[in-house]
Structure formats: C-alpha cells, structure tokens
Amino acid sequence: MSWTIYHNPACGTSRNVLAKLRDAGIEPRVIEYLKTPPDRETLERLISEAGLTPREALREKGTDWQELGLGAPGVTGEQIVEAMLAEPILINRPFVTGPNGTKLCRPSETVAELISPPAG
C-alpha cells in the first residue's frame, strides 16, 4: 500500500507532517483536498479508518462551523459529513493513509505512529 496525505499547503501542521514523511524516506501521494475534495465514500472511509466520528474530524479553527450550526446539540454525523462535502475547509487535516493505517495527524508528531507503529 502506498502513502497518501490529504494536505493543505497553507497549514503549518500539514506542512510539518509532509516534511516528517519525506524525512522518513516516504514520498506520499499529495492530495490538496481544498482543490480536489474527497468524495463521500472516501471521506467516510478516512474518518472511519482513523477511528473518529465526523464531529471529531470537524475542523473548527478558522471555519464557519458555528455559524453553520454544526456545534448544536442533535447535529448528526451525516449532517457534519454533508457540510464537509459542501465546504472542504471543514475537514480537519492532515489525514494520512499508509501501510500501517489511517490517522488524522494532529498534532504533527502523531504521524510517527504510522511511520513506526508500536510493536505488539
């Protein structure tokens, strides 16, 4: 399996994760998800494989998530995914997929868990 990073070059964390992958000798496929957003199937797979709920994968900082009502009680995961598909900036970043799994690598140091997973 190859490596993929769902990347935003304007994001320091995303740039740091990409640098850590490259420092480890990994040249991932880079998908600038704001230019090429994932489709529903891909987004739901990334969230699920990372062991997250849509709410946990929602980016709040620098977005209009509050104005969209996504923080209100009763908002479903489906509604959050719909909002992410409509406004990809709402997808937290960077998601990284590789032979050892899928992870939302925030903070950037967590990418080490994919590069060198713990033994056992």
Which residues are identified as catalytic? 11
For the beta carbon of residue 47, count every other beta carbon within 10 angstroms.
Answer: 26
> Residue 103: which of 35, 13, 10, 34 has the closest Cα?
13
Furthest-apart CA pair in the chain: how many Å? 44
Tokens of 86: 């409509």
What is the separation, in whole angstroms, between the first and last Cα of the chain? 21
Tokens of 89: 């900036």
